[in-house]
Amino acid sequence: MQNNRHLPVLLTEVLDGLAVQMGETVLDTTVGLGGHSAAFLEAIGESGHLIALDADSENLEEAKQNHSSLSGQKTYHHKNFREISDIDLPQCDVIFADLGVSSPHFDDPERGFSFRSEGPLDLRFDRTSGQTAAEIISSSTSEDIQQILSRFGEVRSARKLADEIMQVKPQTTQSLKECVENVCGFRAKNVLPQVFQAFRIAVNNELYALEVLLGYAPSLLKKGGRLAIISFHSLEDRMVKQKFRELTTPVIDETTGAVAKEASFNLFQRKAIKPTEDEIKNNSRARSARLRILLKAP
């Protein structure tokens, strides 16, 4: 089953790497419109259990509808995965996270995720709580904005752009776009994605959420369990890579240099899995996707 509004990224690679089996318990921490998890439900069958989280209540409701014809036990939580430790969850065979922004967020101007259309500068995954990007800008100093642009967007002209943003205090996507164009000129087309990414990460506290997920999810895995994470920019992928390396590195005795304790996890493969050229042609949003899979020892 596949929703034509959303193409699940790296679906074949995810299914191959996770090798989801009949009767397993799968935790999808970013269910979105339910593309990946529809495939998980087909694999686990009637005896399996899908637990689905999403920060966006609208996406969660649509995922429920998209899953309605599929068998298997299903449990849905309107939660950001940074709240994962607050949910009473069982041990899982598979845990999955797709850190990308879902298509409805980009396609709906009212969400404010795209600089290609006019809309309020919102950028929240969960519109029922938290500050919008416009509200964060209004309550920030130029130094605060510079920090957001530098840290979360790796924007080179962060200082000048922060000063411009503080002068204008944009309330809409197009107003922020004009700030970038005024400062960056012909380079604006390359800087705009970085700027919108930076504010989105700040609004949703995304890197902290990922830190929580990486710290907690491995403990939820059964023996032989698998954890897969798809990231879309270097900040996320670096965090995933470093945590997976830490978990797969044995403890070394400082005196003898011998292995004192074997690692409890292994990597599915050392390098990140990337989309094929064919997938990128069919779905340009897959271009920057990187998949890493962690395996818990049996």
CATH class of the structural domain 11-98+207-296: alpha beta
* pTM greater than the 0.75 cutoff: yes
Correct CATH for 114-204 of 3.20.20.70, 3.60.40.10, 1.10.150.170, 1.10.3720.10? 1.10.150.170
Instruction: List the chain residues with pLDDT less than 70.
Output: 1-6
- Residues 139-178 pLDDT 10s: 999 999 999 999 999 999 999 999 999 999 999 999 999 9
Phi then psi for residue 149, to 5 deg, are -65, -40
What is the distance between the alpha carbons of residues 61 and 69, in angstroms, rounded to a whole number? 14
Q: Where along the chain do its domains lie?
A: 11-98+207-296, 114-204
- Residues 58-88 pLDDT 10s: 999 999 999 999 999 999 999 999 999 999 9
